[in-house]
Chains A and B, each alone.
Chain A
Amino acid sequence: MHRFWRRNRHWLTPTLFLLPGLILFSMVILAASAETVWISLHEWDGIGAKTWVGLANYAELADDPQFYVSLKNNIIWLLIFMLAPPMGLALALIVNQQIRGMRILKSLFFVPLVLATVTVGVVFGWVYDPTYGLLQLIFGLFGATAPALLSDENFATFAVAAAALWPQIAFCMVLFLAGLNNLNEDLIGAGRVDGARGWRMLRHVVLPQLSQVGFIAIAVTVIGALRSFDMVAVMTTGGPYGSSTVLAYQMYEESIFSYRFGYGAAIATVLFVIMISFIAWYLHGLIKAERSNA
């Protein structure tokens, strides 16, 4: 036994370490995804028999105006969320200074990350309330009436995504703060000797060292924007009349409320394909960056 272990441990050890993760990953992610694709080829109400319909669900999806609304909203989310990495970086640079009281400021910016997204959604729902909300109070100071953001089909998605942006900025800030702590002191010293300060120091010495962190921040933000669901569910339930739904929420609604698991699965599959293409692109970039560093 002992000899067997010794002879084989070069592959046994990593295998044993990887096994729990692999088992979980294949059960929870791979098997579930494969089954989702399988279900999307059926008409199924979640209880009774599944009827094979081939690609009919996808054909219907291509003809469903609601699907394009969701897709468009996902893109709006993505664009708004792209503000999070630069704003997070700016905040990180501000709070990363050695000034008295900066720790308190830092923790204030960190707070939204501690809150559950649902809480953020509920609180922002109150802020946006057209009669009693904070927004109306501010507008009221100028004698104006606040627009009912969540009741307006043109504003609802922007209002919800803006609320979701708040914790996302905090998240990027934390990532960049960690990056700033790992800066190479020698390089900064060398830059200083060469007379770089302010903007030039940032542009040519600090930012290049943060490129890895920036890459991660963008990736996490994109995925965060695509899988948005909870804020929509809490703040608008996809309304008014479906104008603020995103793919994840539409899938939930079709499956749970309309009892159309096949159709819901087809939406999930489309979202999955979008995500997987992004992740492939991301991994490709990561590997390329690692190679050029080595």
Chain B
Amino acid sequence: MTNALAGLRTTRRRFIKGTGAAIAASAAGNLCFPALAQAQEITIISNLSNVGQRDILHRLAAEYEAKSGAKVTINNMDHEAHKTAIRSYLVVGAPDICFWFSGNRMKAFVNKGLFDDISDLFARENYKNVLGATTNAVTVGDKQYGLPMGGLLWGLFYRKDVFAEHNWTPPKTWTDFLAFGEAAKSASMIPMSIGTKELWPAGGWFDHMNLRINGLDKHIALMDGKVQYTDPMLTPIFDKWNDLIKAGFFSPNHSSFGWEQAGAALAQKKAAMMDLGGFVRSAFSEADIPQLAYAPFPELVPGVARYEDFSVNSVHVPANAKNKQGARDFLAYFYKPENLGAFLAAEGAIPPRNDCPPSKDPLVNAAVEELKKVVGTSQYYDRDTDPDMAQEGMTGLQEFMVKPERRDQILERLEKTRKRIFG
């Protein structure tokens, strides 16, 4: 029995190896490339869905080739497919550079020894001086395992013209917030547009409430599984959230659609505000984008310092990469302020370096200004906690938004999951 199964496992391993080789070969692009030249070859797997960003990456690669004589091959993958593929290619047939997300999602691979420690690159290029707090997003135990890419500042977005028409200002306190909701409803608008089909918008809402009520440290402790989901510190969050649900703050039937449809409701003036990252702009037409504005999530408990969700994408060197030195040299070129700035401008993301040229996008500039007032940042519910916990947690939060009366059952279920995962 054991023998037969062992046999099966080797064939499977061989099969994966074969697949890995195939991926590597396709990444190499040119099978008949001479073996000697491959020492100077850098392979990149990208998951960029933004065409503008892809073009800039290809342009930078071509420029780097001309400058250094190395060959840079870029293999583009579908964003969602990449999330599953990375797990196998990091083990067998890793490229020299790959795109991923910082925070807990990065830590999962770092703990398995699949990402290379690039602290030497940080020291060589003096990145710590220009990066500031974002360094934390790629740091595990004082070592850096990736370069932070564009960041997304989360908050409440609204239309300037709608607010001007009704003489509204973004709510600053809990009382403001409730009054604003009533005002929006009497203007027959949905106060808060949200679509929870993809679950994570409900997670983001929870983040905001928790950061405003309990602050960053307690929030992170919860994300790390050190606080029980039945802990009394969470009671005010769900009380207040329940008030909002009961007051009809959120889009009806929000579990049947995703963020894009919710964003469209904001663009079409059917909803007053929406809690999302800057990419909500993609739900707006080109002509409407100048109307889009950002406001921070209101203060809920006076005296709690301002913390925000600021999720950072990142780029990494896999531990199994063949050309780690080449990868570092290319990354240093790619990460120059002007190159990185152009790459991030295409997405409308906030540059992690403070010496990038100023953006032409007022929304990005506004977010950069806001970020200076922020005392500390977390990533996002599904990036800060264990993926298994995140899946259960976001499902539970979605359920709470639809059936708030099940709060106790939901929290007990989450606590059971937390105990299983974090012990």
Contact indicator B5/A47 (Cβ below 8 Å)? no
- The answer to whether B399 has its CB under 8 Å from any CB of chain A is yes
Contact B114 A241 (CB under 8 A): no
- A258 B387 Cβ-Cβ under 8 A: yes
In the bound complex, do residue A241 and residue B399 qualify as a contact, i.e. CB atoms below 8 Å apart?
Answer: yes
Min CB distance B114 to A, Å, is 7
Asked whether any CB of chain B lies closer than 8 Å to the CB of A189, the reply is no
Residues in chain A near residue B402, CB distance under 8 A: 151, 153, 240-241
What's the minimum C-beta distance from A254 to chain B, rounded to whole angstroms? 8
Q: Do B8 and A260 touch (CB < 8 A)? A: no
Contact: B387 with A241, CB < 8 Å? no
A224 cross-chain contacts in B, Cβ below 8 A: none
**B residues within 8 A CB of A257?**
387, 391
A267 CB to nearest chain B CB (Å): 14
Q: Is the CB of A129 within 8 A of B256?
A: yes
User: In the bound complex, what is the Cα–Cα distance between A130 and B257 (angstroms)?
Assistant: 10
A31 in contact with B387 (CB, 8 Å):
no
A260 vs B388: C-alpha distance in the bound complex, in angstroms?
Answer: 8
List the B side residues contacting A130 at CB < 8 Å: 252-253, 256
Distance in angstroms between the alpha carbons of A150 and B258 in the assembled complex: 12
Quick one: closest B residue to A34, CB to CB? B8
Docked pose: A240 CA to B398 CA in angstroms: 7
Q: How far is the CB of B372 from chain A (nearest CB, A)?
A: 35
* CB <8 Å contact, A47 and B112: yes
- Determine whether the beta carbon of B197 is less than 8 Å from that of A239: yes
Please encode chain B, from 61 to 86, with 1 for each CB lying within 8 Å of some chain A CB and 0 for all others.
Answer: 00000000000000000000000100
* A230, CB-defined interface residue at 8 Å: no
Contact present for A151 and B256 (CB under 8 Å): yes
CB within 8 Å for A259 and B388 given contacts A47-B87, A151-B256, A241-B395: yes
* A285 in the interface (beta carbon within 8 A): no
Min Cβ gap A183→B in Å is: 46
Q: Are A239 and B9 in contact (CB under 8 A)?
A: no
**Per-position 1/0 for B294-333, Cβ under 8 A of A:** 0000000000000000000000000000000000000000
Interface residues of B in 395-423 (CB under 8 A from A): 395-396, 398-399, 402, 413
Question: When the two chains form their complex, are residues B91 and A258 in contact, meaning their CB atoms are under 8 A apart?
Answer: no
Cα A48 to Cα B108 in complex, Å, equals 10
A237 within 8 A of B: yes
What are the residues of chain A within 8 A of B395 when measuring CB–CB?
239, 241-242
**Hey, which chain B residues are within 8 Å of A237, CB to CB?**
197-199
A29 at the interface (CB under 8 A from B): no
Q: A34, B5: Cβ atoms under 8 Å?
A: yes
| Residue A38 at the chain B interface, CB threshold 8 Å | yes
Contact check, B387 vs A259: say whether CB atoms are below 8 A apart.
Answer: yes
Which residues of chain B from 71 to 107 have a CB within 8 Å of any chain A CB?
Answer: 84, 87, 90-91
What is the bound-complex CA distance between A80 and B121, given in angstroms?
Answer: 60
Instruction: Give every chain B residue within 8 A of A38 (Cβ-Cβ).
Output: 5, 8-9
Residue pair A35, B12 in contact (C-beta under 8 Å): yes
CB distance from B162 to the nearest CB of A (A): 19
A151→B258 CA distance, assembly (Å): 12
Partner of B253, one of A46, A47, A48, A151: A151
How far in angstroms is the closest Cβ of chain A from B330?
26
The residue from A47, A150, A241 contacting B398, defined by CB atoms under 8 A apart: A241
Type the 1/0 row for A1-42, where 1 means its CB is closer than 8 Å to any CB of B. Answer: 000000000000000000000000000000100110010000
B17 on the interface (CB 8 Å rule)? no
B11 contacts A by Cβ under 8 Å: yes
A260 to B421, CA, bound (A): 11
CB <8 Å contact, A240 and B387: no
* CB neighbours of A253 from chain B (8 A): 391
Size band of the A side of the interface? 20 to 34
B255 lies within 8 A of chain A by Cβ: yes
The reply to whether the CB of A220 lies closer than 8 angstroms to some CB of chain B is no
The answer to whether B255 and A239 touch across the interface, beta carbons within 8 angstroms, is yes
B54 at interface by CB-CB < 8 Å: no
Q: 8 Å CB contacts to A: which residues of B328-355?
A: none
Taking CB atoms and an 8 Å cut-off, the chain B residues in 355-400 that contact chain A are 387-388, 391-392, 395-396, 398-399
Residues of A near B388 (CB, < 8 A) are 258-260
Chain A residue at smallest Cβ distance from B399:
A241
Check A148/B253 contact, CB under 8 A, given A35-B12, A240-B398. yes
Interface assignment of B185: CB less than 8 Å from any CB of chain A: no
CA distance A151 to B257 in the complex (A): 9
Are A150 and B8 in contact, with the CB atoms below 8 A? no
Give CA–CA (A239, B257) in the complex, Å. 11
Residues on A with beta carbons closer than 8 Å to the beta carbon of B196: 239-240
A138 within 8 A of B: no
In the complex, chain A residues whose CB is within 8 Å of the CB of B396: 241
A87 CA / B165 CA spacing, docked (Å)? 56
B11 in contact with A31 (CB, 8 Å): yes
A151 to B256, CA, bound (A): 5
Cβ of B360 to closest chain A Cβ, rounded Å: 35
Asked if B143 is at the interface of the complex by the 8 Å CB criterion, the answer is: no
Q: Are B399 and A240 in contact (CB under 8 A)?
A: yes
Give chain A residues whose Cβ lies under 8 Å from the Cβ of B114: 47
Using CB atoms, name the residue of chain B closest to A263: B388
* CB <8 Å contact, A48 and B112: yes
Cβ of A289 within 8 Å of any chain B Cβ, yes or no, is no
For window 228-262 of A, CB contacts with B under 8 Å fall at 236-237, 239-242, 253, 256-260
CA distance A239 to B196 in the complex (A): 9
B254 at the interface (CB under 8 A from A): yes
CB distance from A60 to the nearest CB of B (A): 8
Complexed CA–CA distance, A24 and B206 (Å)? 49
B91 lies within 8 A of A47 (CB)? yes
CA distance A34 to B391 in the complex (A): 28
Chain B: CB-nearest residue to A50 = B9
B42 to A: closest C-beta gap in Å: 24
Residues of A within 8 A of B90 (CB): 47
Cβ of B283 to closest chain A Cβ, rounded Å: 15
Measuring CB to CB, which residues of chain B are less than 8 angstroms from any residue of chain A? 5, 8-9, 11-12, 84, 87, 90-91, 108, 112, 114, 196-199, 252-257, 387-388, 391-392, 395-396, 398-399, 402, 413
Q: Which A residues contact B (CB, under 8 angstroms)?
A: 31, 34-35, 38, 46-48, 65, 128-130, 148, 150-151, 153, 236-237, 239-242, 253, 256-260
Q: What are 9 A-B pairs at a CB distance below 8 A?
A: A150-B255, A236-B256, A237-B198, A240-B399, A241-B395, A241-B398, A256-B84, A259-B387, A260-B388
Interface contacts beyond A148-B252, A237-B199, A239-B199: sample of 6 additional A-B pairs, CB < 8 Å, sorted by A: A35-B8, A47-B90, A47-B114, A148-B253, A151-B253, A258-B392
Q: Which 3 A-B pairs have the closest CB atoms?
A: A241-B399, A148-B253, A240-B255
